[in-house]
A = this chain, B = another copy of it.
Amino acid sequence: MNMVECIVRKRDRGVLSAEEISELVRAYVSGVVPDYQMAAFLMAVVLRGMDESETVALTKAFIDSGETIDLSSIPGVKVDKHSTGGVGDKISLILAPLVAAAGVPVPMMAGRGLGHTGGTLDKLESIPGFTTQLSESAFRDQLASVGCAIIGQSERIVPADRKVYALRDVTGTVPSIPLICASILSKKKAEGTDGLVLDVKIGRGAFLPDRDETVKLAESLVRLGKGLGLKTVALLTEMDQPLGRTVGNRLEVLESIEVLRGQGPKEVRDLTLALGAEMLALAGKIRSPAEGLSLLAGLLDSGAAWKKFLEMVRSQKGVVSFVEHPDRWQKAKREIPVPSPTDGWVAGIDSLVVGKLCVDLGAGRSRKEDAIDPAAGAVLLKKTGDRVEKGETLVVLHADRDIDAGEAVRRMQAAVAVSDRPAKAAPLIAGRIG
């Protein structure tokens, strides 16, 4: 394989063979192909695309770059969920124990927050003691005993994706359907799951700014996932406002606990149920989505899901009494109310702005090495469609660090559109591709 020839072919709308793609990925991981050639190649892929055979080859090359996990010793159809990343998206924390409570094993490998969206691992690690670093055998043992586990991805799984993703992040080559598909599906296939439910976010702050492109992404993910032997389905869900009422690690754990105890915001519960029903369907546990919804609602209301969550926390060394008594949690040093500048109705809440503001409050990372303040974040008292009076609190910001409160308030006010006419939130689930 001549790397310059591969770049030139892709640049000129050509197609690479599976062998070429496999060799190219191997050469990049081993350092034979330098970053600058890979960067030029990735930009050519972003602008010229890859056909389905190339995308499959890329996904397989990513998988082959590292180890894979064998979960065949765990009985039943294992199903995972993956979200393309939303602000305030704490669904995984609720969904994994809920679906496990229904008897379907959930082997979940999650990520950390970077940029404006939070990460499931960071949220769980805001529980004292909770570890997301399990050995492969501990992961398998917990799946067998508890039925679910949420862990970080091992360094030994798909190292090619890790190296390529880090390069994409700094070379403007993120928004490409084949590259996104290969990145997501290689990780999921390598972690040993049998089924995969995708939560593809649509709207402002999503991976792809264009709605039509996002639909195409979901279609590609489902088609390619099936091609890799995964049972795959995707829900398209709106992220034109943050999900639920909290953004920030410990605040989101609190909201997850509420939903696990049968309470919490309806939209968080509804989305969890919808995704969970799809997971049960993939596992062959139910005959209709309606059956799944009522089965899972029952598990939330009965406390079975909550009990499963406590089992998972205990198994992953988290302090169980901590999650049992959120009322005892230490609060952030500062709570800053954000008043509505006018009378009206909330017409929308810009997820991107809220996400970035929460990062600056300490809830996320601008750079990989940044520390996180677990208590930092925002509580949204008003959401799209709500009536507000001038001066009424829209949002309460939580911060441990010294910040310019006036500026934070102004940024949040700019994120919340207040209209003089009644408004309505778009339906949370915009579509289903299966």
Contact = CB atoms under 8 A, between A and B. Distances in A.
A40 B8 contact: no
Interface string A3-47: 010011001000000000000000000000011111110111011
Interface in A189-207: none
A8 B173 CA distance: 8
A216 interface: no
A67 B173 CA distance: 35
Contact of A43 (B4, B43, B167): B43
A425 to B, nearest CB: 29
A290 interface: no
A47 B11 CA distance: 8
Majority secondary structure, A binding face: helix
Q: Which of A40, A46, A48, A167 has the most B CB atoms < 10 Å from its CB?
A: A40
27 contacts: A4-B171, A7-B43, A7-B172, A8-B172, A11-B46, A11-B172, A11-B173, A34-B35, A34-B36, A35-B35, A35-B39, A36-B36, A36-B38, A36-B39, A36-B167, A36-B171, A37-B170, A37-B171, A39-B40, A39-B43, A40-B42, A40-B43, A40-B171, A40-B172, A40-B173, A43-B44, A44-B172
Given A36-B170, A40-B171, 13 more contacts: A7-B43, A7-B171, A11-B43, A11-B46, A11-B172, A36-B36, A36-B39, A37-B170, A39-B40, A39-B43, A40-B42, A44-B172, A47-B48
Interface of A: 4, 7-8, 11, 34-40, 42-44, 46-48, 167, 170-173
A167 B37 CA distance: 9
The 10 closest A-B pairs by CB, nearest first: A7-B172, A40-B171, A43-B43, A35-B36, A36-B39, A8-B172, A39-B40, A39-B39, A40-B43, A47-B47
